Structure 1
Amino acid sequence: MSLAAGVDYRDLERLFDYFEIRDKDVKNLRFLGNILLPYKEEFADAFYDNLMKFEDIKEYIPEAKLQRLKRTIKIWYERLFSGRYDSEYLLYLLRIAKVHVEEGIPPHYIIVAMNFVSRFCSRRIANFFSEKAKVFFEDYRREQEKVCDPSKAEIVEGFILEEVFERMEDLNRSLRKILALNEDVLVSYYVDAELRTFFEAGKVERAAIKFSKKFAVFMDIAILIGLMFLAVFVIALFGMDIYHFFHGDLAHSLIAAMGDLLILWTVLELLNSEIKFMLGGELAVSAFVSVALAATIREALVVSLEHGKPIEFKLGIGALILILGIVYGIVKWFEIKRKKKLGE
């Protein structure tokens, strides 16, 4: 079933069956509307306050659009508790999903948003029943003191509290179901959009996409094998420099061997980065820069012992090391910043 291609009542029935939404849940959601709709304004403000604490969301939600988006989320909040969950409601959710996809908003923010809605509503539901129960028990105790043994009131109160907690859980269960349905429809649109782009492509385009994917995998394997061979060659070069260390040019061989170890360390870092990338992670660009930096530093160490090299050449290597060091620092800073945002 491709929700993005259109919906009908069979889609609605299927989704209701997936999430076990029954008539009882619809009634519960209408009842929740009486409790939660008065918080509509507070919800809209809190919803975007929660999202705006993530720095990168500001790329998709500029301040200029915030008031209009608050009006939009209030409409969604009202429809959430309307009790009218038909094909029109599904189309409404798909229109919302379409806007999110077109704006390039990452789908994980939908999951974050639904989690916030669940927490916001659950707290208000708990407050509602807590206040009602407090007033009820105060009145109940006063009446019981007049007509019966107060000790029996505790038994009745315990029974009533169990009923209240069961009712709260029943309402929260219905809330979780409709939020799960919303989340599923919105996130599914992202998947359908990608599939639709693929299937709407021509036969030649689809073949090219499939080939390019296989070719990319082949190139990843080639890079991985190449890095392993490179590590072996660096180890061999290190062995040769150690051999020369014991057979003559001590200073030159020692510095060359130190440079070999530096290059070997960066190659291993690049190898680990490529493995993580093939397993689905992000490629660390800083690893590539570090290899170039390490090779340049090795060359500078070796050149420092060669008195025949012109001073301009040595200054050029020094300038290159400085530039690569600055580039490495900038790239590494952005990578660390991104990891912090993702909570890694």
Structure 2
Amino acid sequence: MEISAENNPATLKADYKFTERDETFLREMKPHVEQFAEAFLDGFYLYIWNFGQTAEFLKDDMVLKRHRTQIRKWYLELFNGSYDIPYFQKLYKIGEVHVKLGLPTHYVNAAFNFVRVFTLDRVYQQYGDDPDRTGRLKAVEKILDINLDVLTSSYREGEMGRFLSLSPLEKTLLGFLKKISSYFNYLLAGALVLVAFSAIGLFGFDVYLLFSGQTSMETGILTTLGSLLILWAAIELIHEEIKRLKGGSFALEAFIALAIAALIRKILILSLSTTNTMNVLMYGGLVLCLGISYWLIVHKTKLND
């Protein structure tokens, strides 16, 4: 990676006010850090293994062993006390590897959270009576922030590189598609609002039929409950669409829930007649299939979280 003006060592140190005194503090702490390095590694891997997707990147024992060796080396080099161009070039290289592997930047930030909490806690305990304890803690904070800055810069430059590699026509088309996509998103949100109002109208009509005596009590109650179920699902779908417009992911499970609600209403109505047994069984099978799909999607989402 080419070192730009904003991520060269001198600029980074100046921006983070990382001084020679900080370097001295970190160098002095290295012997103590080496004593708890293994405890750090054990805790680190226990922590990242809860991410859900870790196994996709650490596929076997050989990869895990090599990765552990590299993490140990990186961790101890935080306290070398020497942070020159070769040091930062190594960090850039690590960031590039993360980008090539497709490792989400979220996991990098989350992993750094563990590194920060663990290290600050150990340093705080180790230097309890040291008058320079605050300075040592700040030095650790600074070097971790600098490392995270460099690693995440690889993602920014990777995205920029992919964009700049596009032809003028591709850039224009990409911009046009993004605009069209945003318009369709708002159109979808508006359509969902109409669906919700329609569900309210359906509920009101079912209530009217029930109390006007135009339908039996049993039929009226079941159809009204079905309408309420559809209304609830439509409202949930609107909430999910609002989250998506704010940057969230597409909530396919909300659409499935609405379909399930509509089918359940249909089943409730058909169940009142003994001549619709096959139709009830057919709709029941559809509900079962959709229910399984809903569970699989929700289960996978929880694992990823």
Which TM-score band applies after superposition, normalised by the shorter structure? 0.7 to 0.9
- Structure 1 partner of 2:207: 242
Give 1:132-143 correspondences, 5 Å limit. Answer: none
Q: Report the count of equivalent residues.
A: 302
Structure 2: runs of 5 or more not aligned: none
- Structure 2 partner of 1:328: 294
TM-score, with structure 1 as normaliser: 0.78
1:85 to 83, 86, 101: 83
Instruction: Write the letter of the residue equivalent to 1:14.
Output: T
Instruction: Tell me the distance in 1 between the aligned counterparts of 2:127 and 2:298.
Output: 52
Secondary structure, in 3 states, of the residue corresponding to 2:162? helix
Q: Which has the larger radius of gyration?
A: 1
Is it true that 1:317 corresponds to 2:264 in the alignment?
Answer: no
Is it true that 1:298 corresponds to 2:295 in the alignment?
Answer: no
For the structure 1 residues 276 and 129, does the alpha-carbon distance in structure 2 shift closer, same or farther, using more than 3 Å as the test? closer
For the structure 1 residues 60 and 244, does the alpha-carbon distance in structure 2 shift closer, same or farther, using more than 3 Å as the test? same
For the structure 1 residues 293 and 114, does the alpha-carbon distance in structure 2 shift closer, same or farther, using more than 3 Å as the test? closer
For the structure 1 residues 288 and 91, does the alpha-carbon distance in structure 2 shift closer, same or farther, using more than 3 Å as the test? same
Instruction: Tell me the distance in 2 between the aligned counterparts of 1:43 and 1:122.
Output: 12
Q: Which range is displaced more, 281-290 or 218-227?
A: 281-290
Instruction: Write the letter of the residue equivalent to 1:57.
Output: T
- Structure 2 partner of 1:204: 169
- Structure 2 partner of 1:268: 235
- Structure 1 partner of 2:71: 73
Give, in angstroms, the shift of residue 7 of structure 1. 4.4
- Structure 2 partner of 1:145: none
Instruction: Tell me the distance in 2 between the aligned counterparts of 1:93 and 1:113.
Output: 15
Instruction: Tell me the distance in 2 between the aligned counterparts of 1:301 and 1:10.
Output: 64
Secondary structure, in 3 states, of the residue corresponding to 1:52? helix
CA contact (8 A) 2:124 2:137 kept: no
Q: Which range is displaced more, 108-117 or 120-129?
A: 120-129
Is it true that 1:285 corresponds to 2:283 in the alignment?
Answer: no
Instruction: Write the letter of the residue equivalent to 1:6.
Output: I
Structure 1: runs of 5 or more not aligned: 131-160
Q: Which range is displaced more, 9-18 or 82-91?
A: 9-18
Identity over aligned pairs, percent: 31
2:95 to 83, 93, 97: 97
Instruction: Tell me the distance in 2 between the aligned counterparts of 1:232 and 1:36.
Output: 63
- Structure 1 partner of 2:178: 213
1:31 to 18, 28, 50: 28
Give, in angstroms, the shift of residue 263 of structure 1. 1.1
- Structure 2 partner of 1:116: 114
Is it true that 1:231 corresponds to 2:196 in the alignment?
Answer: yes
Give, in angstroms, the shift of residue 274 of structure 1. 0.8
Instruction: Tell me the distance in 2 between the aligned counterparts of 1:294 and 1:254.
Output: 16
Secondary structure, in 3 states, of the residue corresponding to 2:8? helix
For the structure 1 residues 224 and 22, does the alpha-carbon distance in structure 2 shift closer, same or farther, using more than 3 Å as the test? same
Instruction: Write the letter of the residue equivalent to 2:278.
Output: E
